[in-house]
Amino acid sequence: MTGIYEIAAILAGFGLLIWGADKFVDGAAGLARTLNVSTLIIGLVIVGFGTSAPEMLVAGVAGWEGNTGLAIGNALGSNITNIALVLGVTAVITPLIVQSQLLKRELPVLFLIMAVVLVLFLDKELSFLDGTILLFGFVAFVAWMVHLGKQSQQNDHDPMEDEFEEEIPDKLPIGKAIFWVVTGLIVLLVGARLVVWGSVSIAQSMGISDLVIGLTVVAIGTSLPELATTITSARKGEHDIAIGNIIGSNMFNLLGVLGIPAVIHPEIFENEVLIRDMPVMIALTIALFFMARGINGDHGKITRAGGVCLVSIYVAYMGLLFYMST
């Protein structure tokens, strides 16, 4: 039957992406523990990179195969999914309270990154130069996260560090840690290849653009690690990790997930990216900013009502995509 193999490949690919990302984080975090890297830096950089690894590998494979539109849809769609669906569903289950000052410093940086991406997108092309700028920003962002982690250790204790201490794996022997890092990356690559092949095949057979498939099916699938991590953290009372995971992932997506395919296969993209998808992503990020800051700049909170509102926006956005596609 038409589409059965493609759907099976997508589902298998998502499963491999989730498992591979988990093993990669376990190996990298265990190795960092063994090398006495601080808990906060491991949490901010390694765990954040791990949850965005599925998007990055899918973007790399998509770019290599000439489907940069799929990668663009995956990046923007994952950011929209992370805020509206992942945080929305999590807040409905467990209202989230923001205490970490690190998160409140990260949000303005996320706005800066979105502004840069918007400027680069104005010519409706994701060029090699755009990709180079974004990847340079990615390296600078990782360096800034490491600096934040060190600064927080020297100054006031950040509550996020205690939450990371509970979640980050223990030390691993170097050989075992490297084994899981390499294994995780290989599994991620295989999973990404399956997802891209299945998604592109279905898009072509149904006459749907790679961009829309990336915004919907692929974005939801590659956001599953964020969904699992965020809900688990929230249920344990680790609210700052839950929200920080989303903010960090969104920054990784805009810099790495967009930068990688641009360098590999520059491409002109559809006008809908600028008039539909970017505005939705920016509006949701603004909403998250005010929720995280709180009314008086004190502790922010995403209530159940706020969660329902976010999920409703996501459903409406999916409806808009379906309407415009048909």
Candidates 192, 218, 197, 190; CA nearest to 74 is: 218
Q: What is the arithmetic mean of pLDDT over 17-39?
A: 76
Say if residue 38's pLDDT is above 70. no
Q: How many domains does the chain have?
A: 1
Residue type, 133: I
Q: How far apart are the first and last CA of the chain?
A: 23
Q: Given pLDDT bands bounded at 50, 70 and 90, which one contains residue 262?
A: very high
Gap between the Cα atoms of 229 and 226, Å rounded: 5
Which whole number is the average pLDDT over 58-85?
Answer: 90
Amino acid at 292: A
**Long-range pairs for 283-286: beta carbons < 8 A, 24 or more residues apart:** 284/79, 284/80, 284/83, 284/84, 284/310, 284/313, 285/79, 285/83, 285/107, 285/110, 285/111, 285/114, 285/250
3-class DSSP assignment, residue 207:
coil
The CATH number for 289's domain is: 1.20.1420.30
Q: What is the pLDDT of residue 43?
A: 66
- How do residues 169-217 score in pLDDT, each as one tens digit? 667 777 888 888 888 888 888 888 888 888 888 887 888 888 888 898 8
Question: Is the predicted pLDDT of residue 160 greater than 60, yes or no?
Answer: no
Q: Which residues pair with 267 in a beta bridge?
A: 126
Q: What is the DSSP string of 163-194?
A: HHHHHS-----HHHHHHHHHHHHHHHHHHHHH
**pLDDT given at position 169:** 62
Which band of pLDDT confidence, cut at 50, 70 and 90, is reported for residue 164? low
Q: 205 is in which domain, residue-wise?
A: 4-325
Place of tokens 């960092």: 32
**149-153, 191-195, 228-232 — which is least confidently predicted?**
149-153
Q: Which of 131-145, 219-233, 307-321 has the lowest mean pLDDT?
A: 219-233
Longest alpha-carbon distance in the chain:
61
**pTM score:** 0.84
Residue 73's pLDDT is what? Answer: 92
Residue 26 structure tokens:
């376990």
**Collapsing DSSP states into helix, strand and coil, what is residue 35?**
coil
pLDDT category, 295, cuts 50, 70, 90? Answer: low
More confident residue, 97 or 238: 97
d(CA 86, CA 83): 6
